[in-house]
Structure 1
């Protein structure tokens, strides 16, 4: 009975979706695409574009004429009137029922270009919201790239830390045997044990860091939950970290020029200036009169335009005209608004300069990090070559009896440390490359 319960419990435990680790093959491009397609911030920004597009359509439709249809019925009190024409007089009974059908048309011929400038402003708002979406996507793309590289770093570090633990364990065991034989001191044994203990701690820390990095990446690509339950992902990252490179070597000045030309932030700042200028034109248009064409058709019984209509009958009448309207009382307010719009333009220009300075600083910092890491990587690669040669020579010395197994292990650990440094520098370089591409708005190329 107990055995059956235990078996059942273990089966449930092992099959529970909240405890099963997902093993997911994931390339960098796939991670970026998944993040961009599922991020709620992107969806919200896309909806903002749709809203602005709807407002643009509303503004464009304001060009259509105003056309109103109306119908009415009025019950009037009865009145008898007496009309005298010289010696003769006669009585007229009022028509107690009034019916009317009306059609009114009004079309603004000239509005000081208010409508056209309002359409231009709506178009600019659509363009600006698209630029804001691009800014957001670039930030999310880099966030995903960093998370991807950090996860790959953690995986490779864990692999090397496991090898380091194996080497330090061998070193401890050999030192322990030598201590028993009296060929090493107790301090050597204590040092070997401490190295092993430290290697265990480093591996545990590396595994924890790998889990955290994987969870962060999974959260970005919407994999942290399955059926409402938390799932710990296990990624198989398929992008080689050595193949993400700048497509061409450019000088700092060239990179800054590219950034100032292509960064969506600077384009958005330029658009803000343009929107402020358009807003000023709208305010200045309010200083001009409005000329409108209007027309009316009335089909009524009685019709007010028919004098002394005695027979109850429907009569149709029409009218056409042109009118001008000039809001003199609103001139002070409109003039003040136009001046305020000029202040908004000045502010947008200052903010544009601030954005330019920020972009230049961003590119310089990214460029310095990128170039320094390239130099560092070349340096540690040379150090790895020396460590590999030292390991080879030590192996030959062990074979000839001029070096011990401990010397061989020391040489292997040194080689592993150099490999560890190279992997981390390579990952750092990938992150720096992605950051420089973001800062300069250069598309990332993942080489096959």
Structure 2
């Protein structure tokens, strides 16, 4: 479809190569800069151009870093307050990233002018300094547990239905590296929404068995053991000269019933149950595609968050270099304290962006963990490189046709219309005749009467016809007829929604494809712009504002490139979902 060019990041201390194929950043040392105590004036104008002060980082073992498609091997920054030398240290694994230390304030040369020192802590202004600040404190352990909740959970045997009671149960202490394929597989196996859809399918099968049971005869049995000593019986006993007229009897009855004709109600119930099972089956297919797409998009989001952290770390590194350059030039008498302050402000700004990027990274991990239903102590991490998810070589009209032919939602609406039709038949069956047959067999034993056991058998047929119910049955049938029209209207609306969703994903895919090429060129230009801005600043013909502006432009260009790639992958995953065929539409070349 297109070729991604390799991206080259240039800084004053290293050459950083961003490979679109997924290689890690390669940092190549540039010629050593002037020592801090050397004077810039010692360089002849006709000699080599003035090099910006640089720092050579220590060798990094990057085997523990996830390969981010050319956006790996970040470095964090730390500085000693006693010297102007800046020490670089490798960052922790992106899966357990800690905020890198900011470059400490370099020692400023003694000067008559007074420069306000940066505050180490931010004081929150309040209208009343004496008013205490509300602070949330941990509760005692006996106040954390909800006794009522615990009692409700006791009878449930499902081990997944539980609530953590201690903070240790939620502390993340382990990570798992997942590929995109692993992520999709776990989502399909563990996602609660898909499990609920499978349970609904089992419920629909039970409804079919219930409806079919109406086609079989019913057999019932009843046994009565009765002791009778009524007032009327006592009077009769006195009239007959008996002391008591009480009696004890045992009566048993076996009855068989079978409905021969139900006015269409029984067959309509069976068909409605079977159609409902089809809807449940289609719902499993629909949720499978949705979860597959959601898992892929969440994975791409986490890849984007990981790489954004690396980009912001690179921005911190660039801002630190600018601060060091401004500090050394100011010490050599070739710069101003204003330039140093501007560099410090820029460094603080990019550090804030890094903090936000790290927070977004943690949030993306937990979102993916929630989708996969992972244990609370496990954090997912990406193991795949950032790369294009695939190519879409189907035209937009053909894509729309595929989606309309395969989307489960359209068939569900048509099946729902059939159910409404069956419900109409069931409603009208209430005013139609029903015919049934029955057989009863009775046993009767009255104790102490001397007559012994007696039995009897009765067989017959019964017809019941509710001629008039005030129009209730017809009204229910009219409601179901309206529901059929609603299902047809929803079908049309769903069809239009599917087309719009396909077009939106398709256009986003095209735009992201074009943005990748444009953003790649912008990154190259921004890197060159930053290199020239630093050279001009070190030579005394440029300003710190130019350097800061070039740094901001490079960081923006890197972010745009990353955003274009991840947007492309998201649109590709969404387009597959809108078609409704999943990975079946893909063909490996």
Normalising by structure 1, we get a TM-score of 0.74
Counterpart secondary structure, 1:109:
strand
CA–CA separation in structure 2 for the residues paired with 1:192 and 1:104: 96
Q: How does 1:290-301 map to 2 (within 5 A)?
A: 290-300=434-444
- Please tell me whether residue 244 in structure 1 is matched to residue 389 in structure 2: yes
1:188-217 Cα deviation digits (max 9, x unpaired) = 555444443333333223222222222332
- Name the counterpart of 2:205: 53
1:327-383 Cα deviation digits (max 9, x unpaired) = 213373322222222112112222222222222222222222121111111222344
Q: How does 1:141-152 map to 2 (within 5 A)?
A: 141-152=292-303
1:95-150 Cα deviation digits (max 9, x unpaired) = x8866544322211222231111011112222323434444454444443333222
CA–CA separation in structure 1 for the residues paired with 2:179 and 2:331: 52
- In the alignment, which of 342, 345, 349 is matched to residue 198 of structure 1? 349
Counterpart secondary structure, 1:239:
coil
1:256-309 Cα deviation digits (max 9, x unpaired) = 22222222322222222111011112223334321222223345569xxxxxxx
CA–CA separation in structure 2 for the residues paired with 1:24 and 1:168: 33
- In the alignment, which of 280, 288, 293 is matched to residue 432 of structure 2? 288
**Alpha-carbon shift at residue 385 of structure 1 (Å):** 5.4
Check 1:411–1:157 CA distance in 2 against 1; reply closer, same or farther (3 A cut): same
Q: What's the RMSD between the two structures over aligned residues?
A: 4.1
**Alpha-carbon shift at residue 67 of structure 1 (Å):** 1.8
**Alpha-carbon shift at residue 183 of structure 1 (Å):** 4.3
- Please tell me whether residue 351 in structure 1 is matched to residue 490 in structure 2: yes
**Alpha-carbon shift at residue 242 of structure 1 (Å):** 1.5
Counterpart secondary structure, 2:387:
coil
- Structure 2, unmatched stretches of 5+, are 1-167, 238-244
- Name the counterpart of 1:306: none
- Name the counterpart of 1:91: none
- Please tell me whether residue 124 in structure 1 is matched to residue 275 in structure 2: yes
CA–CA separation in structure 1 for the residues paired with 2:346 and 2:375: 36
Q: How does 1:258-277 map to 2 (within 5 A)?
A: 258-277=402-421
- In the alignment, which of 207, 216, 224 is matched to residue 64 of structure 1? 216
2:172–2:376: 8 Å Cα contact kept in structure 1? no
Q: How does 1:96-245 map to 2 (within 5 A)?
A: 100-184=251-335, 188-223=339-374, 225-226=376-377, 233=379, 235-245=380-390
Counterpart secondary structure, 2:582:
coil
- Name the counterpart of 1:443: 582
- In the alignment, which of 513, 516, 530 is matched to residue 374 of structure 1? 513
Counterpart secondary structure, 1:225:
coil
- Please tell me whether residue 29 in structure 1 is matched to residue 181 in structure 2: yes
CA–CA separation in structure 2 for the residues paired with 1:318 and 1:172: 107
**Alpha-carbon shift at residue 318 of structure 1 (Å):** 3.7
Counterpart secondary structure, 1:250:
coil
- In the alignment, which of 470, 478, 486 is matched to residue 339 of structure 1? 478
- Name the counterpart of 2:34: none
CA–CA separation in structure 1 for the residues paired with 2:548 and 2:419: 69
- Name the counterpart of 1:431: 570
1:50-91 Cα deviation digits (max 9, x unpaired) = 3332222122112111222344566786989xxxxxxxxxxx
1:241–1:430: 8 Å Cα contact kept in structure 2? no
Normalising by structure 2, we get a TM-score of 0.58
Q: How does 1:293-442 map to 2 (within 5 A)?
A: 293-300=437-444, 312=451, 314=453, 317-330=456-469, 332-384=471-523, 390=528, 418-442=557-581
Check 1:19–1:298 CA distance in 2 against 1; reply closer, same or farther (3 A cut): closer
CA–CA separation in structure 2 for the residues paired with 1:311 and 1:357: 83
Check 1:432–1:322 CA distance in 2 against 1; reply closer, same or farther (3 A cut): same
Counterpart secondary structure, 2:435:
strand
- Name the counterpart of 2:101: none
- Name the counterpart of 2:81: none
1:158–1:203: 8 Å Cα contact kept in structure 2? yes
1:277–1:342: 8 Å Cα contact kept in structure 2? yes
1:245–1:446: 8 Å Cα contact kept in structure 2? no
Counterpart secondary structure, 2:451:
coil
CA–CA separation in structure 1 for the residues paired with 2:433 and 2:325: 99
Higher helix content, 1 or 2 = 1
CA–CA separation in structure 2 for the residues paired with 1:373 and 1:281: 53
2:343–2:548: 8 Å Cα contact kept in structure 1? no
1:239-260 Cα deviation digits (max 9, x unpaired) = 23314225x4222222222222
1:154-211 Cα deviation digits (max 9, x unpaired) = 2112122222322332233234333444445655555444443333333223222222
Counterpart secondary structure, 1:286:
helix
Q: How does 1:70-85 map to 2 (within 5 A)?
A: 70-72=222-224
Check 1:172–1:342 CA distance in 2 against 1; reply closer, same or farther (3 A cut): same
CA–CA separation in structure 2 for the residues paired with 1:224 and 1:209: 20
Check 1:289–1:161 CA distance in 2 against 1; reply closer, same or farther (3 A cut): same
